[in-house]
Amino acid sequence: MSERIPEEVVDQIRSKTDIVDIISEYVQLKKQGRNYFGLCPFHGENSPSFSVSPEKQIFHCFGCGAGGNVYTFLMDHDGLSFQEAVVQLGEKAGVDYEFSDAGSTQDHQKTNESREFQDHLDAHELLEKLYHHLLMNTEEGQEALEYLHNRGFTDDQLKTYKVGWALPNWEFAAKLLEKREFSLPSMEQAGLIIKRDDGSYFDRFRGRIMFPLTDERGKTVGFSGRMINPGKEDPKYLNSPETPLFQKNKILFNYHHARGAIRKNKSAVLFEGFADVIAASGIVHNAIATMGTSLTGEHIQQIRRLTDSVVVCYDGDKAGIAAAYRAAQDLTVKGLSVKVAMLPNGLDPDDYIQQKGPDAFKTDIIDSAVSLMSFKLRYHKLSVNMNTEDGRIQYVQAMIREISSLSNAIEKELYLKQLSEDSGVSIQSLQEQLNKIRPVSEPVQPEPSRPVEQHLPAKSSKETKKAYYRAEQHLLIYMMGSEETTYTVQSLLGDQPFHTDDYQALYTYLLAYYENGGRADPGAFMQFIPDRHLRAAAAELSMTEVNSEVTKSELTDCVNEVLKHQKLMHIKEKELALKQAEQMNDVKKATELGMEIFQLWKALKR
């Protein structure tokens, strides 16, 4: 076991860390009132329900219920153990503490991940380092290194993206993994080796330039291998198969590196392939790419966490333009603002950079990206034969439908003029046709960024109507903000528990927290709670707006509601017993119960 980090160090790191700064690395946050709001990184949503409180240093999602402090955010989002989260934030905050023995062992790494899952990560990391070493430092990798240099890749780019070289040997990686005591059947599941009919294993990647593929955390979860001189039957690129680690519909190449630049530029540049990202990395720092798949809902959700603006830069050939059109449509429907970078003469970004240089690519292509409607004019023009009457009619009809979706009258007039020039049809005729057409599919406009109503946690519709339930919520909110209030409530309640199980558990943890010297700090209290579900419940309560000051009279009223509910439950028990006595024709028992119920109701009303 590794050394336990002292509580005072944990508190010092948390007090030196601004939760808004940390979460902003993962989520695009906008200030609304006292809190910040954004799209929840823990579930898919189109309107922001994820809230971060800089005052209380906690977060809560009103959609899925996730919540906690800065440590629990990293634990839930990145799959870190508690000590790993403390170490990561401690090093970032510059806290003077020796972390070398804390939170760095494999025992810790496996706290929140299965042994096999972690083994897959470890194996990918091992091979990533090996392949990179072979490319950069050995004679065996010299040919591949020269090839990459000739393609315009610099050593800095190769080191940043840890590009490597897989030897042409059939069993080099398999034998290394076996020597390092990795389970070969497990490594087959990880997509690194393949099993022969005789039960032996051979390497999936051989004689290829290796590009590591990383997840949101920057962990290598797969590879793409490129042959230098592929034969007729050899695929130019060979990617890792779909595994629990590597799922192409969820992976955006360079997302981990580009996250900060995307936030800073308030925009992402979306490429079609990872080679384009690497080629442009020296001048386009906010670049990401899909992994050989169409843009998916998961991809768009990841992008929306960081920005609501995207420049699409796909290949300049017909297939690339068609793919850019589909991607632009998908992004627009999800409420993102889209521009398209236009490449000439069927070139791809990598080709253009090699021919014109990175600076020209940045200035002439990325910075000169056109509006989505301007791009659609080109797209639909390329889709038909403009030299024929039928082609021009198809072009006009397609663009009229596109223009009809615009809500701005000035934009409509501008694009009608361009369409008139392209097609030779008068503006008057185009306008008449436009008036007849209703938009086929208007893009969904993004909902206004407004904070979700900060209400008390919703359970069942019947339960929320009960006064005792609301009283327990308010008591806990006030107790988390004051040790003195907690002991006042304890005195007023006596031995009476809360009726809601989660709230009784939070009440018990609060008492223990203060008895252990804890101070009135919601973020620190959440760290004290071991259960993730209860941490989320505490975060939800803490984010609820109530009066900053509470009188003993108000506390007494809330406690009385809790006590009143206990008495009502007692009366219901007596009423049930009365009904049973009546069914049994036990007149004496029924009379006694009736009188007892009468006295209980009388006392309750007093």
How far does Cα 90 stand from its chain's mean position? 23
Q: What is the pLDDT of residues 493-518, one digit of tens each?
A: 887 888 888 888 898 899 999 988 88
8 A C-beta contact, residue 492 and residue 559: yes
Residue 179, pLDDT > 60, answer: yes
Bigger pLDDT: 290 or 588?
Answer: 290
- The strands making up 237-239's β-sheet, listed across from edge to edge, are 164-166, 208-214, 220-226, 237-239
The answer to which of 119-128, 225-234, 320-329 has the lowest mean pLDDT is: 225-234
Q: What is the pLDDT of residues 54-89, one digit of tens each?
A: 999 999 998 888 899 999 999 888 777 788 889 889
Q: Where are the alpha helices (DSSP H) in 424-521?
A: 427-436, 461-465, 467-480, 483-493, 501-515
The answer to which of 115-124, 523-532, 588-597 has the lowest mean pLDDT is: 588-597
Tell me, what's the pLDDT at 460?
40
Q: How would residue 175 be classed by pLDDT, with cut points 50, 70 and 90? A: very high
Tell me, what's the pLDDT at 110?
45
Q: Provide DSSP, 303-349.
A: HHTT-SEEEEE--SSHHHHHHHHHHHHHHHHTT-EEEEPPPSTT--H
With both helix axes pointing from N to C terminus, report the angle between 372-382 and 389-404 in degrees, rounded to the nearest 10: 160
Instruction: Give the mean pLDDT of 248-256.
Output: 92
Tell me, what's the pLDDT at 444?
44
Residues whose CB falls within 8 Å of the CB of residue 551, separated by 6 or more in sequence, listed in order? none
The answer to which of 101-110, 128-137, 555-564 has the lowest mean pLDDT is: 101-110
Q: 522's torsion region: left (phi>0), alpha (psi -120 to 50) or beta? A: alpha
Percent of the chain with pLDDT over 90: 38
Residue 381, pLDDT > 80, answer: yes
Q: What is the pLDDT of residues 303-359, one digit of tens each?
A: 988 888 999 999 999 899 999 999 999 999 988 999 999 998 889 999 999 999 999
Tell me, what's the pLDDT at 459?
43
The phi and psi torsions of 202 (rounded to 5 degrees) equal: -135, 165
Q: How would residue 6 be classed by pLDDT, with cut points 50, 70 and 90? A: confident
Residue 137, pLDDT > 90, answer: yes
* pLDDT mean across residues, the chain: 85
As a whole number of angstroms, the distance between CA 251 and CA 596 comes to 68
Q: Are strands 337-340 and 287-290 parallel, antiparallel or unpaired?
A: unpaired
Q: How would residue 606 be classed by pLDDT, with cut points 50, 70 and 90? A: low
SS3 content of the chain, % helix, strand, coil (to 5): 55, 10, 35
Bigger pLDDT: 454 or 209?
Answer: 209
- The strands making up 370-371's β-sheet, listed across from edge to edge, are 252-253, 287-290, 268-271, 309-313, 337-340, 370-371
Percent of the chain with pLDDT over 70: 88
289: helix, coil or strand?
strand
Paired with 67 in beta bridges are 60
8 A C-beta contact, residue 313 and residue 269: yes
Residues whose CB falls within 8 Å of the CB of residue 385, separated by 6 or more in sequence, listed in order? 391
Tell me, what's the pLDDT at 114?
67
Q: How would residue 187 be classed by pLDDT, with cut points 50, 70 and 90? A: very high
As a whole number of angstroms, the distance between CA 482 and CA 104 comes to 36
Among 33-37, 120-124, 300-304, 318-322, top mean pLDDT goes to 120-124
8 A C-beta contact, residue 304 and residue 28: yes
Which residue, 303, 327, 329, is CA-closest to 38?
303
Token couple for 230:
């592929």
Instruction: Give the mean pLDDT of 140-165.
Output: 95
Instruction: Give the mean pLDDT of 429-436.
Output: 84
8 A C-beta contact, residue 267 and residue 310: yes
Global confidence as pTM: 0.69
DSSP 365: I
Task: Give the dihedral sign, CA 3/6/7/13.
Answer: negative
End-to-end CA distance of the chain: 60
Q: How would residue 407 be classed by pLDDT, with cut points 50, 70 and 90? A: confident
